[in-house]
Amino acid sequence: MKLEPEFSYTAELAEPQIVGPGPYGLRQVLAVTGGKVTGNRISGTAAPGGGDWLLAGDDGYGRLDVRAQFYTDDGAVIYMSYQGLVEVNEAAAGALGGVGSGTDFGDHYFVTTPRLECGDPKYAWVNQTIFVGQGRIQPGPVVEFQVFRVTL
């Protein structure tokens, strides 16, 4: 099995809406307010309506539950959903709060499993592809992911 770089994804996030603590942790909803997808086969802009229904646990980790869509530069719409796990260390917490210099890839555990869907024939390949991603958090807050295609 190999990981082939496919695209990077940057999402600008709104201030979190705090649902409150519950039986599974602290639920926060972070709307995607902008973003870009950049790659050799896929490039585009984040569409309105995406967000992360993040669950922050007492163990110092956040469980991502993201649904978003983007418009490709050539007119297609791609839906992307992913689950993930992010370690909220001091640098990550600072970046989410708008202070500090943020994190870099590999500074902390931040892994996602994107699933893409598209009805446009030129992007049909995304419907039969497994992706994984690693993330980092920048002040703003902005999250950036390097997304890889799993190949044999």
Domain ranges for the chain, please list them: 1-149
Residue 27 pLDDT: 97
Q: Which residues of 110-138 are buried (b: 16+ CB within 10 A; e: fewer)?
A: bbbebebebeeeebeebeeeebbbbbbbb
pTM of the full predicted structure?
A: 0.94
Instruction: Kindly give, in sequence order, each residue whose CB lies less than 8 Å from that of residue 128, ignoring residues fewer than 6 positions away.
Output: none
According to the model, what pLDDT value does residue 101 have?
A: 84
What pLDDT, on a 0 to 100 scale, did the predictor assign at position 32?
97
Q: What is the largest CA-CA distance in the chain?
A: 44
Q: Which CATH architecture has domain 1-149?
A: Beta Barrel (2.40)
Q: What are the tens digits of pLDDT across the range 6-29?
A: 999 999 999 999 999 999 999 999
Low-confidence ranges of the chain (pLDDT < 70): none
